[in-house]
Amino acid sequence: MKKMLVTLLSVVLCVSFLTACGDSGAGDVLTVGTNAEFPPFEYLGDDGQPDGFDVALIKAIGEKLGREVVIENLEFDSLVASIGTKIDVAIAAMTVTPERQEMVDFSDSYYEAVQYVIIPADSTIATAADLEGKTIGVQLGTTGDFIASEIPGVTVSSFKKAVDAVNDLINGRVDCVIVDRNPALVFAENFPGQVVSLEGVQFGFEPEYYAIAMPKGDTEMAEQINGALQELIEDGTFDELVATYIEQ
């Protein structure tokens, strides 16, 4: 009798272990890192919870995969290193770059972006040549930071949050801010008459592509996320989210 109980117990234990280790991930929580300081892609809503295009997109992906999405609000420059430990994936208007690709894999790209230059309304900055000798505000560890750091003869002032760079522009401590197009438009709207945002092409900035950052080598995760993304594009949900959050 005792032996039978022990056998039964081991069978039960084995089955629950195998269920817990099922590799499709369905039913598991998907922990997603973001930096909720980058409207319209991610920001804190009136209820204090992360909201925005990326947040809505990853929740829709989670729904397709049958996984509950839990958002962790982290600093942008800590996201890549947190993948596979603190978080499963990251969605944060993150540009695919060769440096990041050494540490993580990226999903298919879901958005094209470019850096913009925000200047005070009375500034004479108009082209790349005008940046010489200027102090440029950027968000730490972003592509805007990398691009600014390569411009000869400038001083780069970096901030944890892009909005703090914009505040320093208002206070006259930096001459311009280099930041992604859609956030630049939102930040400029917050200071009507005081600042202007200039298109990056005038400065020779190249297009960038946003994607979801995932653990390196996790092909199953990549297939699932890319599959869900494709379905959302085909069923019209993706365009609805663009209309709701970006093109207002």
Question: Which residues of this chain interact with ligand GLN, rule CB under 6 A?
Answer: 35, 38, 76, 92-95, 139, 142-143, 180
Beta strands in 13-168 (DSSP E): 30-34, 37-38, 42-44, 50-51, 69-73, 89-90, 104-106, 111-113, 115-120, 135-139, 155-159
Whole-number minimum distance, CB 243 to ligand GLN, in Å? 21
**Nearer CB in complex with ligand GLN: 164/231:** 164
**Which candidate, 159, 131, 133, places its Cα nearest to that of 145?**
159
Nearer to ligand GLN, 35 or 224 (CB): 35
- What is the number of H-type helices and E-type strands within the chain? 9, 15
Nearer to ligand GLN, 38 or 238 (CB): 38
| Residue 226: CB minimum distance to ligand GLN, A | 19
| Closest distance to ligand GLN from the beta carbon of 28 (Å) | 26
- Residue 93 near residue 113 (C-beta atoms within 8 A): yes
Question: Given phi > 0 = left and psi -120 to 50 = alpha, else beta, which region is 112?
Answer: beta
Q: How far is the CB of 188 from ligand GLN (least distance, A)?
A: 16
CA distance 19 to 208: 41
> In angstroms, what is the minimal distance from the CB of 38 to ligand GLN?
4
- Distance CA(156)–CA(141), nearest Å, equals 12
Place of tokens 């999405």: 69
Give the nearest distance from C-beta 53 to ligand GLN in angstroms.
Answer: 12
Looking at the Cβ atoms of 65 and 178, the one nearer to ligand GLN is 178
Query: Closest CB to ligand GLN among 92 and 117?
Result: 92
Return the number of the residue (105 or 180) whose C-beta is nearest ligand GLN.
Answer: 180
Alpha-carbon distance of 116 to 95, in angstroms, equals: 14
